[in-house]
Amino acid sequence: MRRLFIKLTIIITVVLLLFMPVNNFVKHSHDYNIDHAILAFKKHPYPVDIINLGASHSMYGYYFKPTGLSHLDLALPGQTIQYDYKLLREYGKYLKPGGVVIVSISQITFANSETKNVGNYYKILDRTEIEPFRLIDYYSYLYVPGSNSGSFNSALSGKLKNFKWNSHQPWANNGKNYSERKYAKVEAQYREAVENDNIERNVKQLKEIVDYCNEKGYRVILTMEPAHQSYQEYFNEEVMNRLVFQYLNALELDVPFLNYMSDQRFVDNRDYFIDPDHLNSEGRKMYSWIVYKDLKKLGYL
Amino acid sequence: MTFISIEFLLFLAIIVFTYYLIPHRLRWILLLVASYVFYAILSIQFIPLLLASTAFTYFTGIIIEKQETRKQKKKVMLFGISVLLFFLGWFKYFNFVNDSLRAIAKYMDWNYTVPYQEIVLPLAISFYTFQAVSYLVDIYYGKQKAERHYGYFSIFFAFFPQLVAGPIERAKKLLPQFKVEQNFNYENLSYGMKRIAWGFFKKTLIADRLAPIVSSVFDSPNPTGSQIVLATILFSLQLFADFSACSDIAIGCARMLGINLTENFKQPHFAVSISDFWSRWHITLSTWLRDYVFVPLCKGKKKRSEIYLAILITFLVSGIWHGAAWNFVLWGLIHGFYRVFGDYTKHFRAKMASFIQLDRSPVLHKWVKIAITFLLVCFSRVFFRSDSVTHAFENAQLFLTINSWRPSGIVKAFEIFSLLDLVIFIFFFIIVQIFQYIERKNVSTWEWLSQRSIFARFAFYIFIIVSVLIFGVSGNGFVYGGF
């Protein structure tokens, strides 16, 4: 027994020593700290003029600092509309009277049903809001994220951004490869959502968000961020109608919908995009100014 | 709480610690409570069924033994088996039969009104039913005495390491081990931990890393032929890693308690024929089918055609046991056909090998046989993995198209991986192959390792743990856990 104990102690000690730098590497990675802006806001909150919700399209979409608006970005990658609602309930109270809530609508808004990175919300939401919540996952995500293969993979991928097949590079074949893969992924997600009756749940959730905003006196708009032409070859009118608009139109929401997806100022210009469906910093600035001006025109600001 | 979880490791540690702490006469209570707690955590709603099946098999065994004539014993045994198979049939096959009849009725334009039933498959029912059937048959043949200690019998029925996905054990092997006092043994504990760690390694670094990649092809509405070929081969690796990992963990857990379970795998992908494959793959199921289906079917049969029919029926049972769907039925029949064809053409193939002088190079001959066997197994797994018969035939057609095997197409198909995932997968796959290579030299890798220096051994153990900790993907249940 003593022999076994000594051996195990040695092995565990060495494992821990080797693991520590890996854990630190993950802890300091961009992806692990993707919620840092929201977390910083949570620690030192201030009144804001505008909040945006949504997934990565929205997260990469808005930068209102040059317009002089105080802004809180509540969008995170792969965020479901359920988490949009949870975050709005948690942080909506910091919106100035008559403040604006941008609800970003994308191809996955109604098909997205599974929160893949639930860890993103551990620090910025109350535990009771996290679904599914497992104590072991919670503590391991917070203190030993290196043991989470997803977090480690993301951290490693972040460091090795260019370590991809040539055909997997975002602009290979003028963005068509990327768009095709994304299309296949969204279609699979949509099929699953239809099979599991998740669409209806998500549509209902959007209605709840709008009702909640009205109840609290927030001014709400729906937006759709610009995408590159290559992306629109796959997500064309017919596909978007099937994935999004048939449900959105049926809701008959009394809120403006600003659809910039095919905006000609962006559609042909790769310089505004990181990849075919995400704006870069240049595109983000330009797009935010456009949204700002349109909101003014609508009398929202 | 699945095998691949911290909760399970903590649970196991507590059980092992308590097991050696308490006197032998109380250990059966500990094991029984642990087994039922484990089952209840996974599937509490089917605890009553497990308890009922246990009680039924226990009393049926005793009643069989008490019968005076062989005829009476047979009657009771058949009744017992029928009841056990009824439960299995109801939960596992009702909707399969119902759907099939409905489809036939629709085709024939008949009126069929039995509605679809929402039936959830009880966890491990296929495994414990087969164990129960073998127990009753063995009592009937006098190979096994009916167990009188209800506690020991219940553990045999629900022993937590092998409850979910086997190995399918026989009473005569398992029951005596529970009754013998197992003293604390360093070798058992150490070996058990190594087997569990190796199981975690295969499951989290091979099987669960491959699972989403294979799914991305099989779930795709329009995969290319080369993608199907690659995904099928990868699925074979995934399935082996997944199932053998499950067996490794089961064997490791049991060994820590001093119990020896039967090995379930002997590097099946290095089999030189289909019959050899089935003596290496899911060995406890193969031997069960041999002893309780094939041998009784062959009783009194001498004609080759009758033996072949028995082979086909045995593989049909194997297919149906795996899953209640036509693609599993076809998968079983394909293996039956392989087996019959292999036997029928045995001499012809030997002559052919001699004619093309392949037998002059035994090593090359062996590897050609291994490659052919592996590809035949892979082809059958197209049916195993596909969601429906329609998809299975579409995928099988793609698998058999020559264009699908173009090297350039296969290389392109590797893009189903991200480059990073591919590098990580190849690295760990090579480690597993080195491990298997050592085993093929008829040496247990663990024994081989024990002869290395302490640094080499510790480096390997640390490598396994760190790899699982950092690169291991978890979250998917075991494939065979669903059967």
Q: What is the pLDDT of residue A162?
A: 81
- Beta pairing class for A278-279 and A95-104: unpaired
Residue type, A236: N
Q: What is the pLDDT of residue A84?
A: 93
Mutate to test the interface with B, among A135, A153, A180 (most CBs of B within 10 A): A153
Write down the mean pLDDT value for chain A: 90
Residue whose pair of structure tokens reads 């590097």 in the numeric block: B267
Mutate to test the interface with A, among B183, B201, B417, B419 (most CBs of A within 10 A): B419
Q: How far apart are CA B217 and CA B224, in angstroms?
A: 9
Contact yes or no for A164 and B419 at CB 8 A: yes
Q: Does residue B3 contact residue B249 with C-beta atoms inside 8 Å?
A: yes
| Closest-CA distance of chain B to residue A23, Å | 9
A 10 A CB-CB count for B250 gives: 26
Nearest Cβ partner of A136 from B6, B221, B418? Answer: B6
Could you give the angle at which helices A149-159 and B419-440 cross, rounded to 10 degrees? Answer: 120
Q: How far apart are CA B412 and CA A165, in angstroms?
A: 10
**Known active-site residue B322:** yes
Q: What is the pLDDT of residue B407?
A: 93
Cis amide leading into B176 (omega within 30): no
**Closest residue in chain A to residue B193, using alpha carbons only:** A8
Contact yes or no for B415 and A18 at CB 8 A: no
Q: What is the pLDDT of residue A6?
A: 86
Q: Which two tokens stand for residue A70?
A: 């105080």
**Torsion angle of alpha carbons B309, B315, B316, B318, nearest 10°?**
150
Q: Which residues on A lie below 8 Å from B470 (Cβ)?
A: 19, 22, 146-147, 149, 152
Contact yes or no for B466 and A19 at CB 8 A: yes
Those residues with Cβ within 8 angstroms of residue B27's Cβ, 6 or more apart along the chain or in another chain: B19, B182
A135 in contact with chain B, both atoms CB, cutoff 8 A: no
Query: Could you give the angle at the alpha carbon of B127 between the alpha carbons of B124 and B129, nearest 5°?
Result: 100
Mutate to test the interface with B, among A11, A24, A26, A149 (most CBs of B within 10 A): A149
Q: How far apart are CA A54 and CA A79, in angstroms?
A: 6
Nearest Cβ partner of A164 from B220, B418, B462? Answer: B418
Nearest Cβ partner of B469 from A4, A147, A160? Answer: A147
Q: What is the pLDDT of residue A265?
A: 92
**Closest residue in chain A to residue B465, using alpha carbons only:** A15
How confident is the prediction along chain B (483 residues), in pLDDT tens digits per residue?
Answer: 778 888 889 999 999 999 999 999 999 999 999 999 999 988 888 899 999 999 999 999 999 989 888 899 999 999 999 999 998 888 888 887 888 888 888 888 887 777 777 777 778 888 899 999 999 999 999 898 999 999 999 999 899 998 888 799 999 999 999 999 888 888 899 899 999 999 999 999 999 999 999 998 998 888 899 999 999 999 999 999 999 999 999 999 999 999 999 999 999 999 999 999 999 999 999 999 999 999 998 888 788 888 999 999 999 999 988 877 888 999 999 999 999 999 998 888 888 888 888 888 888 989 999 999 999 999 999 999 998 888 999 999 999 999 999 999 999 999 999 898 999 999 999 999 998 888 888 778 888 888 888 888 889 999 999 999 888 887 666 666 666
Q: Which residues on B lie below 8 Å from A136 (Cβ)?
A: 5-7
Q: How far apart are CA B210 and CA B216, in angstroms?
A: 10
Contact yes or no for A11 and B458 at CB 8 A: yes
Nearest Cβ partner of B219 from A165, A168, A188? Answer: A188
**Closest residue in chain B to residue A164, using alpha carbons only:** B419
Judge whether residue A157 has pLDDT over 90: no
| Residue ranges of chain B whose CB lies within 8 Å of a chain A CB | 5-7, 184, 186, 189-190, 204, 219-221, 415, 418-421, 458, 461-462, 465-466, 469-474
Query: Could you give the angle at the alpha carbon of A174 between the alpha carbons of A170 and A178, nearest 5°?
Result: 40
Element (H, E) at B337: helix B326-344
Q: Which residues on A lie below 8 Å from B458 (Cβ)?
A: 10-11, 14
Q: Does residue A164 contact residue B414 with C-beta atoms inside 8 Å?
A: no
Q: Does residue B289 contact residue B317 with C-beta atoms inside 8 Å?
A: yes
**In chain A, what's the furthest Cα-to-Cα distance?**
78
Chain A, chain B: beta-carbon pairs less than 8 Å apart = 62
Q: How far apart are CA B64 and CA B56, in angstroms?
A: 12
Contact yes or no for B465 and A163 at CB 8 A: no
A18 in contact with chain B, both atoms CB, cutoff 8 A: yes
Closest of B48, B36, B284 to residue B160, by C-alpha: B36
Closest of B167, B182, B378 to residue B269, by C-alpha: B378
Element (H, E) at B237: helix B225-256
Q: Which two tokens stand for residue B71?
A: 């005829």
A10 in contact with chain B, both atoms CB, cutoff 8 A: yes
Closest of A188, A169, A11 to residue A111, by C-alpha: A188
Residue type, A194: V
Q: Which residues on B lie below 8 Å from A147 (Cβ)?
A: 469-470
Those residues with Cβ within 8 angstroms of residue B247's Cβ, 6 or more apart along the chain or in another chain: B165, B166, B167, B199, B263, B264, B265
A173 in contact with chain B, both atoms CB, cutoff 8 A: no
Q: Does residue B198 contact residue B248 with C-beta atoms inside 8 Å?
A: yes
Q: Which of B24, B149, B322, B365 is catalytic?
A: B322
| Closest-CA distance of chain B to residue A11, Å | 6
Q: Give A220 or B4, the one with higher predicted confidence.
A: A220
Nearest Cβ partner of B415 from A146, A160, A168? Answer: A168
Q: How many helices (H) and strands (E) does chain B have?
A: 24, 0
CATH of region A36-113+167-298, choose from 1.10.10.10, 1.10.260.40, 3.40.50.300, 3.40.50.1110: 3.40.50.1110
A 10 A CB-CB count for B316 gives: 18
Q: What is the DSSP string of chain A?
A: -HHHHHHHHHHHHHHHHHHHHHHHHHHTSTTTTTTHHHHHHHHS---EEEEEESSHHHHTT---GGGT--EEE---TT--HHHHHHHHHHHGGGEEEEEEEEEE--TTTTT----S-GGGGTTTS-GGG-SS--HHHHHHHHH-GGG-HHHHHHHHHHHTTT-S-GGGSTTGGGGHHHHHHHHHHHHHHHHHHHHTTHHHHHHHHHHHHHHHHHHHT-EEEEEE----HHHHHHS-HHHHIIIIIHHHHHHT-SS-EEE-TT-HHHHT-GGGEEETTEE-HHHHHHHHHHHHHHHHHHT--
Q: What is the pLDDT of residue B100?
A: 82
Q: What is the pLDDT of residue B200?
A: 94
Element (H, E) at B286: helix B283-289
Q: How far apart are CA B482 and CA B43, in angstroms?
A: 12
Contact yes or no for A149 and B204 at CB 8 A: yes
| Closest-CA distance of chain A to residue B315, Å | 34
Domain ranges of chain A: 1-30+117-163, 36-113+167-298
Q: Which residues on B lie below 8 Å from A10 (Cβ)?
A: 458
Q: What is the pLDDT of residue A113?
A: 76
Closest of B307, B236, B245 to residue B268, by C-alpha: B236
Q: What is the pLDDT of residue A286?
A: 93
**Closest residue in chain B to residue A183, using alpha carbons only:** B220
Query: Model confidence over A77-93: pLDDT tens digits?
Result: 989 999 999 999 999 99
Alpha carbons within 13 A on the beta-carbon side of A9? 6
